Amino acid sequence: MPEHRIGTREEWQVARDELAKLEAEHAKRNEEITRARRDLPWVRVDKEYEFDTEDGKKSLAELFDGRSQLLAYNIMFGPDYTLGACPGCTSLADGLDGSLVHLNHLDVTLVCFSRAPVERLTAYKRRMGWQFPYVSTFNSDFAFDFRLALTEEQAQKIPEVKEMIDNPPDFLKDWSRQIGAELKDGLRENPSWIAFARENGTVYHTYTVSAPDPFVAPYFSFLLERTPKAQSDIAGTLRKDEYPD
C-alpha cells in the first residue's frame, strides 16, 4: 500500500488551493527579501587581488570581463583535496553552464572560485565538462578576507566546525573520503555565493551568502522539492561520473 494519503480529485484541489495561498505568501516575502538584498550598502574593494586563471593572472576588476556585475560561486576544493571538489558543490556547478549566455547578456559575468591551484581546477573542469570560468584563489588572501575560507586557527574557534571535525557524523566521514582530505582541512572551505559591482573603474563587494542557506545547494534540490517523495540524502550526492550506471 502507498505510504502517502490517497484522496479524490476534489480533495486534492482543496488542498492545492490552500498550498497556493502559502506559496503566494512565500513569493511576496521573497520579493521583500530581494529588495532588502539590493538595498545592502556596497563596500569598496581597495585591496589589490591577483587570481590564477586559464588565461593567466587577472585582477578582480579583470574578472568582470567588461561587464558591471560579477557573480561567483566558491566551490569547496581546497589545496589539500586530493580527489576533487566537494560532490555537492560539483552538483551545483553542473547546472551553471546553461545560465552563462543569459547572464552575460544581462551584464553579469559568472565565475567559480576555489583555493586549489589552477592546474587542478582546469583538470577538474575538463573532467566535469564545465564551460564557465574557473578561477583559483591559491596563494591569495582573497578567500580569507571575504570569509570563503578559514585558517586552521579560525576553524578551531568556531564551535560548530570544531565539533564536526572532532566528532563527525557518518556522512561527513564519507564526504572526507570522497574529497581525499582530512576534515580539519576539508571543512575550512566555505561554499558561498559572492557578488561584486563595478562602477567608474571601482569594484564594490555587494553580497555574500553561505551554507546552510538553501541557495547554496545543488540546483536539482529545488526540483526535488516539487517531486512526490521526500529526498533526505542530498549530502550523499555523487559526482556525475561516479554513479554506477
DSSP character string of 167-201: S--HHHHHHHHHHTS-HHHHTTB--EEEEEEEETT
- State the pLDDT at residue 215: 74
Q: How far apart are CA 32 and CA 8, in angstroms?
A: 37
Length of the chain: 245
Phi, psi angle pair for 160, to nearest 5°: -65, -40
- State the pLDDT at residue 233: 57
Give residues with Cβ within 8 angstroms of 156, minimum separation 6.
Answer: 162
231 by DSSP, 3-state: which?
A: coil
- State the pLDDT at residue 234: 57
E strand or H helix that includes residue 152: helix 152-157
Per-residue pLDDT of the chain (245 residues; tens, 9 = 90+): 457 889 999 999 999 999 999 999 999 999 999 999 999 999 999 999 999 999 999 999 999 999 999 999 999 999 999 999 999 999 999 999 999 999 999 999 999 999 999 999 999 999 999 999 999 999 999 999 999 999 999 998 999 999 999 999 999 999 999 999 999 999 999 999 999 999 999 999 999 999 877 777 766 677 777 777 766 555 567 888 888 87
Give the neighbor-by-neighbor strand order of the sheet with 69-74: 43-44, 202-210, 192-199, 69-74, 108-114, 134-136, 50-53, 56-59
Half-sphere exposure of 57 (CA within 13 A, CB side): 5
E strand or H helix that includes residue 108: strand 108-114
147 to 53, 56, 195, 213, 235: CA distances (angstroms): 21, 24, 13, 15, 22
51 by DSSP, 3-state: which?
A: strand
Q: How far apart are CA 98 and CA 107, in angstroms?
A: 16
CATH number for the region 43-236 comes to 3.40.30.10
- State the pLDDT at residue 1: 46
Question: What is the pTM (predicted TM-score) of this model?
Answer: 0.90
